[in-house]
Amino acid sequence: MKLGLIVNPIAGMGGSVGLKGTDGDAYRKALELGATPVSPVRIRQVLSLVKRRDINFLVAPGKMGEDYIRGTGFIYEVVGSIGEQTTADDTKKIAREMVDRGVDLLIFVGGDGTARDIADAVDLKIPVLAIPSGVKMFSSVFVVSPYAAARIMDSFTADMPLVEREVMDIDEEAFRQNKLAARLYSYLKVPGIEPLLQASKEASNTSKSEEAQKREIAEYIVENMEDGYVYLLGPGTTLKAIAGKIGVEKTLLGIDAVYNGKLVGKDLNEKGILELIDTYGRARIIVTPIGGNGFIFGRASKQFTPEVLRRVGKENTIVVGTKGKILKLKHLRVDTGDEEVDRMLSGPIKVVIGYNEELLMEVRA
Amino acid sequence: MIRLDLNENPYPPPRSVLEEAEKGLREVNRYCEQACLDELKRSIEEYTGIPWRSIKLSPGSDTILREIIHSFSIDRKVIMLNPSFLPTLECAKRHSRKMVKFHITPPEFILKREILQEEAREPSLVIIDNPNNPTGREFLDKDLVVDLLDNKNTLLVIDEAYYEFSGNTFSNLVNEYGNLAVTRTLDKAFSLAGLRVGYLLAGEKFMEGLSDFNVILPRPSVYAAIAALKNMQYVMENARRIRSERKRLIRELNKLGIEAYKSSTNFILVKSEFPGLGDKLRVKGIAVRDLSRDWIPGYYRISVGLPEENNILLETLKEILADESNN
Ligand SMILES: Cc1ncc(COP(=O)(O)O)c(C=O)c1O
């Protein structure tokens, strides 16, 4: 078993001194305030809990990995090089190299920022194991505890079921001012052992049938699609599965449009969407909420502006999502920036969660 | 293995019931006579107060619930709560024209009745287990039930598998409303899970649609059921013991930091963030129902066992939680 290990040595330092994150200048401020590193403690704990010995580690140099594995008895090899101050580029560069060298699972320790760097480098090419040590963990990729991380490492096999989870981008500046500005950034694949994944700020799904669930949803949606409507497909992997079933390409984080089974718009902005509605007359939106917070509009897909939503209407809004994501949500949310549109979207809505399986939920503004 | 995963009754049926089952066993080369099946219906009539012509027998109540879905959901949608008794949900999903589930979440478990009523305006088959499995809660009250029934396009099925533990029933409305059916079972409170005896109390719309559902139950089951209904004191005493153990278990679980919700049944819904708790218990010889796959991760359904079984459960949980904090 070949495992990669990358540690963001400064992630999590803001928390103890009341800062929210260590992006940019905040890191220096955290140090001045006497913050101590969290990541080294975390990874040492995980490594001490791992029982299996058939692991070949590829580790980042020095305080990004090597320092914590030395002396543990694990076989390892150092990948890449770093300077005194570690950077996001180090993470990306080393992660890419690990992918090239064929690691089966990439373990990283950090917060949302680290998850984004890893997502940039790795995408969905290989599974990752995300050990939380950051302050802001709105991404749903992280495991619940060092103990859970060790369990996954002990039981990891090449055919272990994987689920795609969301990586979020939080504007740290806004977050420090207690405003939450979260945006879907990307996806990572993680081992799908649900109770071991963080449930508090969660996201998309549970069991091994995650992919099968998406296919089931896609089948139901596509069977019920009507000619004469332009379908606007929002971001996310569930929508990707729907596009796959139709037989068209999907921009993972953007909005694409389909009319009578044909792709008629790619990665659309508001203007493009409005033009399509003008051209075809009737439109439907298909979206999936963000895991954990349940936002369907106003967070992940800003291109669905109040004007677009007004023209499409609630009756033509179709919400989909796998059970693992949906059943944990109390309700769905909207925050379009337009009170009237928020009100129009509020109230009961049916969410497609399987083939012939719709869940009656509430939308709240 | 201590089985706390299937909501069974931990107490065996009394001697009189076992003897009747044995008697039935000695004649199993013969189908059970209609007269005998009618006698069981008469016994149920006496127990429920519903005339025997409004009663159907079924091998376990799950079978007649399936039959109802097959017979009545071709031209109407099915509305259920999510979560609900899983086999019924699965059956409705596969066989109904359209299926809508009403989303209920912890810890408040709110059923917004206006939303349900609005959804039931079109012709619907509404199936609600009351008390609900796995939450252990009762979601229905008389106003809501009557309101749903007043819409003649609605067919309402109330699954009262746990009636003897909750003490609340809507069966008395069956005579008045042809669009109401209540399912019950002797598999739980009467300790007959291994013999599978269920029944339906239903208004005329249901009885018409199910006119060719006439199942001959196994002879041992019928004999045992008749005997069991003669000994209500035994059943009610067990139900009382289980309720009192339930109360104790909820209190003790909460003390351990495991959130245990109130229940009107012989099982308890609990929540624990502890990773893989179900597997850990199984390894130590206790089976509970892990709801992560079918509902929400971190939730478990635990049947109330014998007092000594419940003690072992509590001790084992303590050990597991202590192990974790040492790690
Ligand atoms: C809500 C509910 N309904 C019905 C049943 C089925 O009971 P039976 O088929 O044994 O009568 C169960 C069993 O667990 C249940 O929990």
A121 and A240: one domain? Answer: no
Whether ligand 1 lies within 6 angstroms of the CB of B138 is answered as no
Label residue A155 by pLDDT band (50, 70, 90). confident
Q: What is the Cα–Cα distance from B59 to B32, expressed in whole angstroms?
A: 13
Percent of chain B at pLDDT > 90 equals 91
Nearest residue in A to B278, CA atom: A195
Q: What are the boundaries of each domain within chain B?
A: 2-9+233-326, 15-231
Stretch (H or E) spanning B64: helix B61-72
Question: Looking at domain B15-231, which CATH architecture does it have?
Answer: 3-Layer(aba) Sandwich (3.40)
What pLDDT was estimated at residue A202? 28
User: Is beta strand B267-271 parallel, antiparallel or unpaired with respect to B299-303?
Assistant: antiparallel
Q: Per-residue pLDDT for A206 more than 60?
A: no
Give the distance from residue A165's alpha carbon to the nearest chain B alpha carbon, in angstroms. Answer: 15
Compare A9 and A231 and report the one with higher pLDDT.
A231
Same structural domain, A22 and A86: yes
CB contacts, 8 Å: A153 with chain B: none
How many C-beta atoms surround the C-beta of residue A70 within 10 A? 12
Q: Do A331 and A284 sit in the same domain of this protein? A: yes
pLDDT of A165 over the 90 cut: no
Residue A351 has a pLDDT of 98
Residue-level pLDDT at A31: 65
Hey, of B73, B103, B271, which one would you mutate to test binding to chain A, going by the most A CBs within 10 A of its CB? B103
Whether residues A21 and A124 fall in one domain = yes
What secondary structure, in 3-state letters, does A10-71 show? CCCHHHHCCCCCCCCCHHHHHHHCCCCCCHHHHHHHHHHHCCCCCCEEEECCHHHCHHHHCC
Q: String of b and e for A252-288 (b: at least 16 CB within 10 Å)?
A: bbbbbbbbeeebbbeebeeebbbebbeebeebbbbbb
- Claim: this prediction has a pTM higher than 0.90: no
Record: contact A145-B103, CB cut-off 8 A: no
Structure tokens at A232: 């606007």
Residues A181 and A52 reside in one and the same domain:
yes
Atom of ligand 1 nearest to the CA of B84: 1
Query: Of the candidates A196, A353, A361, which has its C-beta nearest B275's C-beta?
Result: A196
Distance from residue B60's CA to the centre of ligand 1 (Å): 7
Other C-beta atoms closer than 10 Å to the C-beta of A76 total 18
Determine the pLDDT at residue A168.
Answer: 84
pLDDT tens by residue, A5-64: 999 988 866 555 555 555 666 666 666 666 667 889 889 989 999 999 999 999 999 999
Q: What is the pLDDT of residue B246?
A: 98
- Is the same domain home to A246 and A156? no
Range of the domain at A149: 2-196
Structure confidence at residue B118 (pLDDT)? 94
Q: B265 C-alpha to center of ligand 1: Å?
A: 12
Give the tens place of pLDDT for each residue, B280-320: 898 899 999 999 888 998 999 999 999 999 999 999 999 99
What integer pLDDT is reported at residue B294 of this predicted model?
86
- Give the rounded distance of the alpha carbon of B275 from its chain centre: 28
The ipTM of this complex is 0.90
Rounded to a whole number of angstroms, the CA Rg of chain B reads 20
pLDDT, mean over chain A? 86
- A245 and A310 belong to one structural domain: yes
**Ligand 1 atom nearest to CA at B65:** 4
CATH code, domain with A174: 3.40.50
Angle at A109 between CA A194 and CA A73, to 5 degrees: 100
Q: Say which amino acid occupies A149.
A: A
The Cα-based distances of A106 to A94, A144, B173 in angstroms read: 11, 17, 61
* Residues A6 and A142 reside in one and the same domain: yes
Atom of ligand 1 minimally distant from the CA of B7: 14
| B202 phi, psi to nearest 5 deg | -145, 150
Reported as a single tens digit per residue, the pLDDT across B217-245 is 999 999 999 999 999 999 999 999 999 99
User: How many domains does chain A contain in total?
Assistant: 2
> What would the mean pLDDT of A306-325 be, rounded to a whole number?
95
Instruction: Kindly state which CATH superfamily the domain B2-9+233-326 is placed in.
Output: Aspartate Aminotransferase, domain 1 (3.90.1150.10)
pLDDT digits (tens, 9 = 90+) for B14-40: 999 999 999 999 999 999 999 999 999
**B89-142 tens-digit pLDDT:** 999 998 999 999 999 999 999 999 999 999 999 999 999 999 999 999 999 999
